[in-house]
């Protein structure tokens, strides 16, 4: 006899039991949906670890951008994990291309047109975006070794490209194992430079009537109004050696013997010009000097002639002329020339080198008459124009015209 298991209590499905099971399933589904919608909770330690990792990532990214590449530790990690394809996709970072030369020093000689050139440089620096550092130190041209090193380190730390200018004797950077910059300079006929300095110290220039009192506040009236002929012929310290031995030390350097008038300082100055100076021009041919600088250093001096010839610049440039300047007698000039014989030897050397460079570049221009010599000073003793009276004034152009008249008469 067969048993009927369908009627067994274990397998019977009553309506109440079926509803209870369905309600339990629905509650489980609802709970699982709510649990998936609520974000999981992290411990404080895990949260701090994530924030630290994010900070490190940002910090390393900043280093990557500032240094132009990743830190060494990231490079080691990349090498360990495998080659990165960033350089293949983007290429190496772009490097700033500096002009050559990007370090220029203009150790300007006093009363050789330096203020005129500095005005031009200020306008050019703004136009061409190079760093111009102009030190207004006029009475510290000779430095101790410690001062030399400090100044050279300060110059070398200027962001490139730069042009540094100051009244200072030549500095030998390579002697102290510092990269040597390129030098430029301008010189002037030694007697003209001496006269300009003599009267400038006493009476200043057209920038202001009281300019001379600011520069030489302790100068007494007896010294300020001292006749230049008396100063030269009676051998006052200001008008004799070593004070008139002025231009050569700017090129000879910081050696103590460079301040002693003689052949040693002269020859060393010439050699430094040949070895370290890109250009040394002469003030008597300033426009040609500016044109040469424009060709040799275009990233500094492009457009300099246009600025120099502009009416606005002429207004500023005319204010730098020395006032109350007049010419000594022929006898005083002869004595002064003899005291400056080494200066004239160097000036003529610079003049010849400048004209040689002009010919090499193909610059054709009319040169000014050469500097006068003892022979023509002696021969013209009876034909020299009368010197101006003490109360008369003569500016730079008139003085050069006066010398040119003498030269033409000599020819």
pLDDT score, position 144: 96
In tens, the pLDDT along 329-355 reads 999 999 999 999 999 999 999 999 999
Mean pLDDT of all residues in 68-78? 63
Alpha-carbon distance of 403 to 193, in angstroms, equals 14
Tokens of 110: 């006093």
How high is the pLDDT of residue 317? 58
- Model confidence band, residue 322 (pLDDT cutoffs 50, 70, 90): low
pLDDT tens per residue across span 154-199: 999 999 999 999 999 999 999 999 999 999 999 999 999 999 999 8
pLDDT of residue 103 exceeding 70, the answer is yes
Answer yes or no: is pLDDT of 390 > 70: no
Measure Cα distances from 403 to 197, 242, 381 in Å.
Answer: 18, 25, 14
Q: Please tell me the pTM assigned to this model.
A: 0.67
Q: Does residue 403 surpass a pLDDT of 50?
A: no
Token readout for 255 is 């050696």
Out of 167, 255, 299, 355, the active site residue is: 167
Task: Output the pLDDT for position 45.
Answer: 73
Residue 167 annotated among the catalytic residues of the structure: yes
Instruction: Please tell me whether the peptide bond between 161 and the residue prior to it is cis, using omega within 30 degrees of 0.
Output: yes
pLDDT value for 363: 83
Phi/psi for 229 (5° steps) reads: -65, -40
pLDDT exceeds cutoff 50 at 277: yes
**What are the start-end ranges of the E strands in 91-145?**
103-106, 131-134
pLDDT number for residue 47 = 73
Mean pLDDT of the region 25-38: 51
What's the length of the chain?
411
């Amino acid at each position: 006899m067969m048993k009927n298991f369908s009627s067994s209590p274990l397998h019977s499905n009553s309506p109440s039991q079926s509803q209870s099971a369905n309600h339990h399933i629905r509650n489980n589904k609802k709970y699982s949906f709510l649990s998936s919608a609520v974000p999981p909770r992290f411990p404080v330690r895990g949260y701090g670890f994530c924030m630290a990792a994010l900070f490190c990532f940002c910090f390393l990214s900043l280093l990557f951008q500032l240094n132009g590449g990743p830190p060494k530790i990231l490079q080691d990690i990349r090498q360990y994990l495998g080659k990165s394809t960033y350089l293949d996709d983007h290429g190496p970072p772009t490097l700033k291309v500096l002009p050559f030369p990007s370090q220029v020093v203009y150790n300007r000689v006093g009363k050789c047109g330096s203020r005129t050139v500095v005005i031009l440089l200020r306008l050019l620096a703004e136009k061409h975006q190079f760093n111009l550092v102009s030190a207004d130190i006029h009475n510290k041209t000779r430095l101790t070794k410690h001062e030399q090193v400090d100044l050279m380190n300060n110059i070398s730390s200027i962001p490139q490209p730069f042009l540094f200018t100051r009244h200072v004797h030549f500095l030998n950077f390579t002697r102290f194992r510092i990269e040597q910059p390129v030098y430029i300079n301008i010189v002037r006929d030694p007697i003209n430079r001496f006269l300009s300095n003599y009267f400038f110290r006493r009476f200043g220039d057209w920038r202001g009537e009281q300019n001379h009192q600011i520069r030489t506040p302790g100068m007494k009236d007896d010294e300020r109004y001292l006749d230049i002929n008396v100063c030269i012929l009676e051998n006052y310290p200001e008008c004799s050696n070593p004070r008139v031995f002025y231009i050569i030390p700017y090129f000879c350097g910081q050696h103590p013997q460079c301040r002693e008038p003689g052949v040693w300082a002269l020859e060393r100055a010439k050699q430094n010009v040949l070895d370290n100076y890109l250009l040394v021009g002469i003030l008597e041919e300033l426009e040609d000097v500016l044109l040469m600088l424009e060709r040799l250093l275009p990233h500094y001096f492009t457009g300099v002639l246009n600025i120099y010839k502009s009416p606005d610049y002429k207004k500023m440039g005319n204010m730098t002329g020395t006032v109350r300047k007049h010419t000594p007698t022929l006898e005083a000039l002869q004595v002064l020339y003899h005291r400056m014989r080494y200066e004239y030897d160097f000036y003529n050397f610079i003049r010849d080198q400048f004209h040689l460079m002009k010919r090499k570049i193909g610059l054709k221009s009319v040169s000014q008459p050469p500097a006068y010599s003892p022979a023509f000073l002696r021969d013209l003793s009876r034909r020299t124009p009368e010197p101006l009276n003490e109360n008369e004034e003569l500016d730079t152009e008139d003085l050069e015209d006066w010398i040119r008249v003498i030269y033409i008469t000599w020819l």
